[in-house]
Amino acid sequence: MTKKVVVVTGAASGIGKACVKRFIAEGYGVVAADKGSLDSLQHEIVPDADILDVRVDVSDEMSVSAMFRLAVNHFGHINSLAHFAGVARRKLIPEMTVDEWDEIMDVNFKGTFLCCRGVIPYLRQVDGGSIVTTGSELAFVGAANIGAYSASKAGVVHLTRCLARDHGKEKIRVNCVCPGPILTPMLEKSMATQGDPEATRERVEQTTILGRLGAPEEIANMVHFLVSDQASFITGAAFLVDGGVTAKAP
């Protein structure tokens, strides 16, 4: 087993895409998984990259199981999971339908459960490995008009701790990356729906200590570190990569 293999969900755009590109640059075999088209990713990947494209619905048990089977059939093993598939919706809880609530929980929380549950048997086969889940700064603070998303990410943070506790003796490390305002298509779409998108962006930038939005590549740096052997004594931790949003008073 000469090459380490990582499965990246949410690979078509934003942080997931940045992670795929970082892992390829570091010589990993990469399973790039997303519910949507991966065409835009392919245009940005070097021709000789060792990459497998997979369509997956992380909220569907059979789809997740098929993703891991395809990964092992192609590469022979899996060493790590970087799980970034997710959805966001801004709406007050009294105005939210049950279907809207279920969509957020199914993708963000249930999807994390299914992907972690699915990868652990394969990590056992290689005597351990690393899982990186995706939380959010909003798992730690109460923001306006985004309660369901925030609750789903708080659940992911604590599930991460529990998984780390349960599987540490198997040499499986589990950590959570909690991004702040990162310039992803998801955030751009959210800002575009506001009455004044440019003013909204400036307001979001000023929520950080650094006075700017983060780049997906900055999250990918942390993810690569946590997956690598350099983080061999780190597990059960949630890392805020938020430009200082949660470190200051309003």
Taking a C-beta distance cutoff of 8 angstroms, is the pair 40, 12 a contact?
yes
Q: How many CA atoms lie within 13 A of 36 on its CB side?
A: 13
Write out the two tokens for 178.
């909690």
Closest CA to 187 of 162, 163, 211, 205: 205
CA distance 126 to 170: 10
149 as an active site residue: the answer is: yes
| Vertex 161: Cα angle to 204 and 29 (nearest 5) | 80
The active-site residue out of 28, 75, 84, 149 is 149
CA distance 8 to 105: 20
Return the DSSP state at 213: P
CA distance 165 to 159: 10
Active-site amino acid positions = 149
